Amino acid sequence: MRIARRTKLVVSGLILGAVAACSAQGAIQRGSAPPSGTQEAARADGADVRPFTVVATGDVIPYPSIIRQARNDAGGSGYDFSRILAGIRPVVERADLAICHMETPYGPPEGPFTGYPMFQSPPEVARALRTTGYDSCSTASNHTLDAGAAGLGRTLDALDAAGVRHAGSARSAAEAVRPARMRAGGADVAHLAYTYGTNGVPLPEGKPWAVNLLDPDRVTADARAARRAGADVVLVSLHWGTEWQQAPDAQQLDLARRLTAARTGGHPDIDLLIGTHNHVPQPYEKVNGTWVVYGLGDQVASFVPGLYRGNDGSMARFTFAPKGDRWTVSKAEFLVGHSDTGPPFRVVTATEKRFPDVRDRVREAVLSRGAAQDGLTEGK
């Protein structure tokens, strides 16, 4: 989360190919992927076809003050992040699928745990994410390699142990070509994730696949490979943009146009773009018929009130419904999130009655590119 870093497109040579059709992670967690084709696939798998909801929330960045709160919430032994997240649990656990962005790597169980500029967070965060209701988290960020390959591995190990799927970083070349796979409403859903860079930290030697670097051709190729492997819906998390800037920058706008324009057989290759990294809420917009969330803002962060807007964020909720042989967004909503610095520190949903100033700021940002005209509404 370096100040005023611009998105950098880093071309990676690793392209998903036919190997993606063998989704070992998906097979372990949810059984083999069904044949492609929405309603036919669901019937073949014995599932009922029905609309389903996806909730996506912003950056989880446990600063030292948040880590101290988790220590206190655990009674001084270990770390309990679930109480910090309890205020948004009703929104998250009601969703059929919930996606977070795990910004920071985890340290060893005994620590040390550090904040900016080189983060290491307690691995207990993973368990709290699952308790709150998250199904998958993007792990590709500019801080993914803050603790090197070991920290990357600890993070994915902890998420696995907690039962949270992940996309964007990998412990092996085989894992790198497998998107997170989930089932909802009879649909097979793939989650992919990418970051503009890693703050200048080089990829581990001999492991060019460790972090998914953002290149539009690769994103499109990966999305198409996921569909060939059986995905009915493809969700893409992008760590991009200019920090502390409410308006999407020129590269975000260009990438959004390119990625949403990608089509196979007349159908979009990507069903939803979910942005993180900016630390402030950014607009939602329908581009080439596909919803783009340029930036959700932070979900778990702790800045001095009045100094930064990084305590505010939006929570995106999209309902997907079957339409012919595809799934499309039938309802688009946002909710307002806020990191209440307290004490105690808690993440809450801001409403007209509670934190009305936060709600007004986030609403203004989210709707600033005309999303209301495309049907975006505020959820309850």
- For 156-215, the pLDDT digits (tens) are 999 999 999 999 999 999 999 999 999 999 999 999 999 999 999 999 999 999 999 999
Name the domain count of the chain: 1
> Which pLDDT band, with edges at 50, 70 and 90, does 48 fall under?
confident
Instruction: Kindly state whether residue 2 falls inside one of the protein's structural domains.
Output: no
Instruction: Kindly state whether residue 345 falls inside one of the protein's structural domains.
Output: yes
Nearest to 324 by CA among 41, 36, 38, 43: 38
Give the pLDDT confidence score for residue 200 in this predicted structure: 97
> Which pLDDT band, with edges at 50, 70 and 90, does 23 fall under?
very low
CATH number at residue 323: 3.60.21.10
Instruction: Kindly state whether residue 320 falls inside one of the protein's structural domains.
Output: yes
* Range of weakest confidence among 42-56, 173-187, 287-301: 42-56
> Strand pairing partners for 329?
320
Instruction: Kindly state whether residue 9 falls inside one of the protein's structural domains.
Output: no
Nearest to 309 by CA among 338, 349, 347, 350: 338
What mean pLDDT comes out for the span 101-118? 97
Q: What is the span of the domain harbouring residue 363?
A: 18-378
Question: Residue 14 pLDDT more than 90?
Answer: no
Give the pLDDT confidence score for residue 305 in this predicted structure: 72
> Which pLDDT band, with edges at 50, 70 and 90, does 221 fall under?
very high
Question: Residue 9 pLDDT more than 70?
Answer: no
Instruction: Kindly state whether residue 1 falls inside one of the protein's structural domains.
Output: no
Instruction: Kindly state whether residue 62 falls inside one of the protein's structural domains.
Output: yes
Give the pLDDT confidence score for residue 42 in this predicted structure: 52
Residues whose CB falls within 8 Å of the CB of residue 373, separated by 6 or more in sequence, listed in order: none
Question: CA-CA distance, 265 to 268, in Å (whole number)?
Answer: 8
Give the pLDDT confidence score for residue 66 in this predicted structure: 97
> Which pLDDT band, with edges at 50, 70 and 90, does 40 fall under?
low
Q: Are 238 and 7 in contact (CB under 8 A)?
A: no
Give the pLDDT confidence score for residue 88 in this predicted structure: 98
Question: In whole numbers, what is the pLDDT of the chain averaged over residues?
Answer: 90
Nearest to 287 by CA among 379, 195, 370: 370
Give the pLDDT confidence score for residue 20 in this predicted structure: 37
> Which pLDDT band, with edges at 50, 70 and 90, does 45 fall under?
low
> Which pLDDT band, with edges at 50, 70 and 90, does 328 fall under?
very high
Give percent above pLDDT 70 in the chain. Answer: 87
Question: Residue 59 pLDDT more than 80?
Answer: yes
Instruction: Kindly state whether residue 55 falls inside one of the protein's structural domains.
Output: yes
Phi-psi domain of 250 (left: phi exceeds 0; alpha: psi -120 through 50; beta: other): alpha
* Range of weakest confidence among 42-46, 119-123, 172-176: 42-46
For the four alpha carbons of 377, 290, 279 and 366, in that order, the dihedral sign comes to negative
Q: What are the backbone dihedrals phi and psi of residue 268, each rounded to the nearest 5 degrees, phi first?
A: -60, 140
* Range of weakest confidence among 15-19, 142-146, 202-206: 15-19
Q: Are 283 and 247 in contact (CB under 8 A)?
A: yes
Give the pLDDT confidence score for residue 47 in this predicted structure: 60
Instruction: Kindly state whether residue 7 falls inside one of the protein's structural domains.
Output: no
What mean pLDDT comes out for the span 41-67? 85
